[in-house]
Structure 1
Amino acid sequence: MTTYTIGTLGRRPHRSEPPAGRYPVGAIFLHLVDRDRCDAWVPSRPYRELMVGVRYPAREVEGYERVPGSFAHEDAPPVLDPVGPRPVVLYSPGVGEARVPGTPLVDELASHGYVVVFIDHADDAPAAKFPHDRVADVRFVLDQLASLAPGLLDLSRIGLCGRSEGRLADLGTLHDDPRIKAVADLDGEGDGDGAAARLVAFFDRRLLGREEIPAATAARAGR
């Protein structure tokens, strides 16, 4: 498995143009509770709570409220892929980024046909102190995917991306979880739109097997 480092995603400007993919984007927000472990950040809590945002290709978005700061519309009906279940990308954000409700990156991926699961690692300001708990968060969300949208998600094609502290979770999960087929390490600073396009091309190749990937992107991905 190859870990792809995108060195130009960092402080992303607010995006004024809609995502470039063929689909409008829907969004739902879920409250998940892991009752099999205590919360390392809140010792008095005998369980771990997570908020998860899901972006997905939508059938229509007219009449559905737009998520602030994004092009996603909450509770818009999903569009089914006639080919089969859709590939999934988990997004593990950096500290301070988790509660940002919309980013160009997740909207862009969803507009190209991916279901993107954005993990809010709650109460993790001192994340470097408990990196293994971020890994446990990712694994727990992976465990929930089968019940999240039965029959709609292709669990044989799961990608993972993250930046800053999210990279700790990515790399820790990469080493010992066979469910993850591709990992993108989002680090550095620069043009978010360009990075989003490269990330789409990377997952298209790794999760969908498409060969029409620009030569420059293939070189960056180590091909």
Structure 2
Amino acid sequence: MNSRFFVTILLVCLFGAPVAFAQQPSASSSGTASAALPQIPSPSGPFGIGRIGFHWIDTSRPDKYDPKRQRDLMIYFWYPTSKSAGAKGQYLPGAAQMDAQPEVHKLMSVEFGNIWAPVVSGQISSHAIDNAPIASSGAPFPVVTFSHGLGGMGFEYTVLIEDLVSHGYVVAGIDHTYTAKAVWFPDGRVVTQRNDSPPAGLSQSERMKWMMKQVSIGISEGAADVRFVIDRMTQLNRDKQQFALAGAIDLKRIAAMGHSAGAEFAARACQQDSRIHACVDLDGGMVPFAALPIYDDDRTMRQPLLFLEAYHPDNNMGGTPDQIAEYKKVKEQQLQELRPGSYDVVLHSPGIAHPSFSDWPLLFHGQDGFPETPIVLHNLDLITQFIRAFLDMTLLGEKQPLFDGHTSPVPEAIVTAYGH
């Protein structure tokens, strides 16, 4: 992706430019011979990885594009299970069904380039075992909702998700319908990403107003998805017939996390919902406007926030110098309003970039400008360290050296504490 920022991305997408979830490999990229296929690293924690998918329908919201339906979502729960050496599972559930539909096959072949076939065949795999029994820990596990970026999918964050789960978290990965590149439903439907175009005949100022309204609508819908998933978890947490994880998740320890556009979904949900106890925003700043969502209701976040971002030089931030200066001013004001225990962490490690929070640089290491595998893994390790430390601190009450002092113990990170 050429720009990390949701607003810039969305505005470009609205006009049909070829921008997607992350910096994309060309379909003709070379270098994925079978012997060199990328591998998801083994998670670092003591637990194995289980996964189960649910098709949930929010009957209170109509489908934006199909008046005959209500808003429906696929949610994949990744959860701790007993560790099994060499465990392998699907990287992308539903890949074979997607591949069987010609238009979706074409779309995904562009999205994944020459690794799409290995994803479909299972040569590229995860460590998630579908429907495995959840681990018995004596206490329910804290829950993290996860929202992917625009044109992405939750599975493209497998490294990040599996790391959290291996350390005792349940992650509810939401496939945001129409925001995701493609969502496979158990009834055989594959719903692909939709991008609206502005009406013809608008003036430049009218087009800008229309586009900003679409940004607001998109963030609101993503946040509503997050809150709906929390609603359903709450309703079903004692119903093991409908929800296999009933009783095993701790609804008093919920965090919302997202990347890019998904970071804004999570942030807006945190502004609206006190059931969420911590928020993690992964590189979600909206240059040239704001770091966090701004709405007429003036709601601000009451949870501690981790604003974890890659360092981006000003000339890569997608705005004029005046716009970037204004963005930084607004960002500082917003972060100053946060509650104590909030942090802005800027990572300056070599090769760090907007896609570094996802699997994308690992899947395409050494291609199209992505770093080689050791650099990619180092950046993923930094990212997961800070996420896990923040959640351990906010949800589990554990002290964390990464956030204890005025100087970061990690030289590649600038950590700034916020809150009043």
TM-score by length of 1: 0.84
**Equivalent position to 2:390, from 189, 198, 202:** 202
The residue matched to 1:104 in structure 2 has which SS?
A: helix
User: Could you say which residue in structure 1 is the equivalent of 2:226?
Assistant: 138
Q: Which residue of 1 aligns with 2:255?
A: 159
Equivalent in the alignment of 2:137: 81
Contact 2:80 2:165 in 1 (8 A): yes
Q: CA deviation at 1:29?
A: 1.2
The letter of the residue matching 1:130 is G
Say whether residues 1:72 and 2:128 are aligned partners: yes
Amino acid at match of 1:81: S
Distance 2:149 2:409 in 1: 24
Query: Which is further off, 134-143 or 95-104?
Result: 95-104
Q: Partner amino acid for 1:67? A: Q
Q: CA deviation at 1:117?
A: 0.4
Structure 2 counterparts to residues 22-101 of structure 1, below 5 A: 22-40=46-64, 42-61=65-84, 66-68=89-91, 69-82=125-138, 84-98=139-153, 100=155
Query: How far does residue 102 in structure 1 lie from its aligned partner after superposition?
Result: 5.5
Name which of structure 1's ranges 63-72 and 196-205 shifts more when overlaid on structure 2: 63-72
Equivalent-residue separation in structure 2 for 1:212 and 1:185 (angstroms): 19
Residue number among 172, 181, 184 corresponding to 2:277 in the alignment: 181
Give the distance between the partners of 1:183 and 1:55, measured in 2 at CA.
19
Task: Give the alignment's TM-score, normalised by structure 2.
Answer: 0.46
SS at match of 2:247: coil
State which structure, 1 or 2, has the greater radius of gyration over its C-alpha atoms.
2
- Aligned-partner Cα distance in 2 for 1:99–1:21: 20
Q: Distance in 2 between matches of 1:99 and 1:17?
A: 17
Amino acid at match of 1:162: G
For the residues of structure 1 that align with 2:172 and 2:39, how far apart are their CA atoms?
Answer: 20
Greater RCO structure (CA 8 Å; 6+ sep): 1
* CA RMSD of superposed structures (Å): 2.5
Displacement of 1:60 after TM fit?
A: 4.7
Q: 2:167, 2:83 → 1: CA distance?
A: 15
> What is the CA distance between 1:180 and its match in structure 2?
0.7
In structure 2, what is the Cα distance between the partners aligned to 1:184 and 1:55? 18
Q: CA offset at residue 59 of structure 1?
A: 2.0
Asked if the contact 1:90/1:116 (under 8 Å) is kept, the reply is yes
Q: CA deviation at 1:62?
A: 6.9
CA 1:221–1:158 in 2, change beyond 3 Å: closer, same or farther?
farther
Structure 1 spans left out of the alignment, 5+ residues = 1-9
SS in 1 for 2:57: strand
1:106 correspondence with 2:161:
yes
Q: Please, which runs of 5 or more residues in structure 2 have no aligned partner? A: 1-21, 24-37, 92-124, 180-192, 196-213, 237-242, 284-309, 311-352, 357-378
Q: Partner amino acid for 1:91?
A: F
1:18–1:72 Cα change, 3 Å = same
Q: Aligned letter for 2:224?
A: A
Looking at secondary structure, tell me which structure has more strand per residue: 1
SS at structure 2 position matched to 1:36: strand
What per-residue deviation string (whole Å, max 9, x for no partner) do you get for residues 171-205 of structure 1?
21111200111101101424222201210111000
Q: Do 1:57 and 1:79's aligned partners in 2 also have CA atoms closer than 8 Å?
A: yes
- Percent pairwise identity: 31
